Every structure is written in C-alpha cells, then in structure tokens.
Amino acid sequence: MAKNYLNHIDGKWVPSIAGKTFKDTNPADWNEVIGIFPESGPEDIERAVQAAENAYESWRLTPPPTRGEIILKAGLLLKQNKERLARLMTREMGKVLKETRGDVQEAIDMAYYVAGEGRRLFGQTTTSELKNKFAMSVRMPVGVCGLITPWNFPVAIPSWKVFPALICGNTLVFKPAEDTPASASEFVEILRQAGLPPGVLNLVHGGPKTGEALVHHPRFRLISFTGSCEVGRLVGEHCGRTLKRCSLEMGGKNAQIVMADADLNLALEGAVWGAFGTTGQRCTATSRVYIERKVYDSFCRALVRRAKNIHIGNGLKPRTEMGPLINESQRERVHSYVSSGIEEGAHLECGGGFAQGAGLKRGYFYQPTVFTHVDPKMKIIREEIFGPVVCLMPVKDVEDAIRQVNDTAYGLSTSIYSRDVNHAMRAIRDLEAGITYVNGPTIGAEVHLPFGGVKNTGNGHREAGQTALDIFSEWKSVFIDYSGKLQKAQIDAD
C-alpha cells in the first residue's frame, strides 16, 4: 500500500484544498508507487504564504544563534537518518545508493556550516567622514521567500536554499520537484522535529502549475529557483516585471580538458565519473571532453571500453554503477538528442539506446553513450542533454582547448587534467565558468565554497558558501551620530 503524503503548512500536515493528487513512482520499476501526493493549487500557495507571513515577525526577532541551534539539530537528525533517507531517495529518483548517501551528507555538511553562521552573519564597521559619528553595515532578512528545487539532488539542493534562508531570518514556502516529493517531505519533517516553529517552513507539493502559482504570488519578496534554463527565463522575466528578488541556478554544458602530460588513468576515471555519475543528470555533468591529439585515440578507446562495462540497474543493488533516468519523458529527450547526433554525422562509439537485460524492463534505463567526430555546430555539443551522453573532441594545445570549452552558451563547471602548472593556471584564468577543477572531474562541489556559473547558467548569484547569505539577506547601512549637532555629509562647512 502506497503511503499518502500531505502538504506541510503552519506546522501541520494537511491535504490540498481541491483534494487532487498525483503518484510518485520508482524510475527503476514504474510498478512501484512510492507515495500519493497532493496536487496543490493557488489556494494552497495562498494558505502557505499567509502562514509564512504570520510566522515572520517572531522568526525575524529570534536570535541568529538560536536559529543556528535548530539547524544544527536538523543536521544531527539528518545524520541519524542518513541510510533511511538515502534508500528512499534511490527508490524515488534512481541514482545509486552511494550517491544518495552523498546527497544526504551534503545536506548534513550544509547544516553544520550554516549553523555556525548563526554566531557570525558579519557586517562591517568602518570610519565616518564626520567627527563623532559611527558607521556600520548589518544583514537583514528579506521576508517571505519562495523556493523551487529540482529532482536530481532532492535533499542536498533544498538544504542549499532552506538553511541559509532560515539563518538569515526569512520564512519560506518550498515547492519540490514532483518527481521527488517524498525526499522533500522527509527533509521538512526533520526540520519540524528539530524544533522549527510553525509557519517558518511550509511545503507545497505539485507540478508546473503549482510552481507557476508560487512564482506569480504577489507577496513573495524573493524567488529562488534551480532547474532548466527554459523555466528559469520565465521565472526571471516575471520577477523582473514585479521587482521580486530572484536567484536562478540553471543548466550547464560542462567540459573536461585532458592534456598529453596528464595522469591519463586519473583523467579517465574523472571523465567516466563526470559523464555517467547520476546517469548524467547533474547540472555539472561532463558532457564534453577535449583531448590533446597526441593521446586522443588511446584515451577514446579506453573511455569507450569503460562505458561499455558500466553495470546498469537498480541503484539499491551493490553491483549497480548507474541507475535509470528519472522518467519516460527524460529518456525520450535523451534519445532524441542521440538520434540528432547520429543524423548530423557524429560517430556513435557505444550506447545510443534503451538499456536491455534482466531487471531493466520496467525502468527508464539508458545505455552510457559516447560520440566522436562531433562538429561544434551540432546540437549534442551545443545543448544540455541531461543524460549519460558524452562527446570526445581532439585539440591541438591548451589554448585551443580553452577556446573550444568557452564556445558555449553555458558556464558552470570546467576541468583540466595536466601536470603542467602553466596549463593549470591558464585554465583557471581563462575558462569562462563559475567552477574550475584541476586534476578533478567537473562534479564534486563542496558546501563552503560558492556554487554557480556565468552566461546562461544563472543570473549571477551563487549558492552555498558565504555567498548564499547574500541571496537571502539585505544589507542595511547604519550611521550613529553622537556629536549632538546637525552634521551634513558631503556638504562643505560654512
């Protein structure tokens, strides 16, 4: 019997007002229903916003160290429940168990990091141009914030938004992806158990119409969105018209450079992990690899060999290295890109179709796919595929590699493998991306550093690290004049 889940509004688990529901199924076995969830409408968003507004004044005035203690307790509860949450997440979105454990660990790390900010939240003290006057800046909360998160990191990415927003004193309405609502419900329940007051964090389930209702609600002060560029543009357009603050974290077309002087075995491991980890369903996944011509042929052969031997299956099984895609529409999308690459003349070295075999018939499995002889104008090299598809291209030297890596509309994550410090420093300086790894894959961000990109990847904000506080707080400048007389800044004295 599938579990019936509810929205969480004003500290209570409640059904949607209209009573509509949807099913959440296992992408490795579509016959398994994880749960039944409320399909929420504008009236549910209104109810959640009202609860968040009612809770705001008290939460805003709660001392930040006290807020931090609640977040720390949530981190400890996440740690206690790590295995249970990881197994639920694998059933819900398909990635292998070691990766879902890592997803929960990222949320634990974020909780610990943000909890410490409760005793920091530093501003600046500075000098004044006038006598007997003191000047400083302090962080203030934004207000009621709307959060929309994707399905590929259903605990980690909510933690990137929820914990910094809470420590800054905001109240929240959170809409998770409809493909991973159970993980989100468990995340919110842990915060409830940690002592978060009613109304501070409200959870509203649903699909695109629910997200649209959230974005268009007039009383949000801020919208934080992680997802596709297509939807992100719509979110940004609306926020621009209504002057809502807006944080957008969107797609990537990430690239790894392999120089001839690199540790080629290490570079191979990085490319395989970057391309096929999470079945390629990461915004930081490696979808392009540029290889110096001297080692191109041998590196291609080795990577194709590895790709052919990846064990595909249910992520709960110990032998499984790569799970399914998230749903049927995503599998069709990936397959359409593969078909486009073949039609445009790229060489399909391996993969290119639905994975077959025992235990794979009722899941959205796809073969690890490798292309060579890819023209820079092809769709498979220009557009984000979000699946286990990687393109391999030869380059003349490091300058040629950097030029080709930068020839994209995106700019999230990049990587270079080389033993030459000069190559590494040129890459750090010249790659147009928010993240650059040296001798590491394009995936593997850490929570205490800024996460985000340039170009079409986002709108300039960064999640994680101290920069997340800049999304969820406003700066206030404070001037204290103790001269006992009217002093006029920038006005010449008589």
Q: What is the pLDDT of residue 173?
A: 98
**Residue range(s) defining the domain that contains residue 338:** 254-438
The total number of structural domains that make up the chain? 2
Mean pLDDT on 365-371: 98
In a domain, 386, yes or no: yes
The pLDDT assigned to 283 comes to 95
Do 217 and 289 lie in one domain? The reply is no
Has residue 487 been placed in a domain?
Answer: no
A 10 A CB-CB count for 485 gives 7
For residue 235, is it within any domain? yes
Burial of 136 (0-12, 13-18, 19+ CB in 10 A): middle
Rounded to two decimals, what is the model's pTM?
Answer: 0.96
Q: What CATH number should be reported for the domain holding residue 10?
A: 3.40.605.10
- Reported as a pLDDT band with limits 50, 70 and 90, residue 98 is very high
Of the residues 99, 178, 186, 249, only one is catalytic, namely 249
pLDDT tens-digit readout, 272-299: 999 999 999 999 999 999 999 999 999 9
d(CA 227, CA 229): 7
To the nearest 10°, the Cα dihedral for 6, 10, 12, 16? -30
Q: Tell me, what's the pLDDT at 494?
A: 59
Residue 394 sits in the same domain as residue 462: no
Together in a domain, 159 and 240: yes
> Are residues 336 and 474 both part of a single domain?
no
Does residue 127 sit in the same domain as residue 241?
yes
Helix (H) / strand (E) element for 345: namely none
The tens digit of pLDDT for each residue in 189-206 reads 999 999 999 999 999 999
Q: How far apart are CA 225 and CA 211, in angstroms?
A: 10
d(CA 145, CA 174) in angstroms, rounded, equals: 8
Question: Is residue 414 within 8 Å of residue 420, measured between CB atoms?
Answer: no
Contact present, 488 and 142 (Cβ < 8 Å): no
Report whether 116 contacts 125 (CB < 8 A): no
In a domain, residue 492? The reply is no
Same domain, yes or no, for 268 and 229?
A: no
Mean pLDDT score, 78-100: 98
Annotated active-site residue in 229, 239, 283, 391: 283
Residue 109 maps to a domain = yes
473 φ/ψ angles, rounded to the nearest 5 degrees: -140, 155
Say yes or no: 156 and 15 in one domain: yes
Is position 494 within any domain?
A: no
Considering the chain, what percentage of its residues have pLDDT values greater than 70? Answer: 100
**493: pLDDT strictly greater than 70:** no
Cα four-point dihedral sign 147, 14, 194, 119: positive
Same domain, 210 and 156: yes
Phi, psi for residue 241 in degrees, rounded to 5 = -70, -35
Q: Are residues 36 and 170 in the same domain?
A: yes
- In this structure, the answer to whether residues 177 and 127 fall within a common structural domain is yes
pLDDT band at 354 (very low <50, low <70, confident <90, very high): very high
Task: List the structure tokens of 70.
Answer: 């609640």
- Candidates 112, 35, 33, 24; CA nearest to 76 is 112
CATH of the domain at 316: 3.40.309.10
Q: Are residues 16 and 141 in the same domain?
A: yes
- 224 and 263 assigned to the same domain: no
Arithmetic mean of pLDDT, 230-252: 95
Q: Is 227 domain-assigned?
A: yes
Beta partners for 3?
35
Catalytic-residue membership of 249? yes
Residue at 453 is within a domain:
no
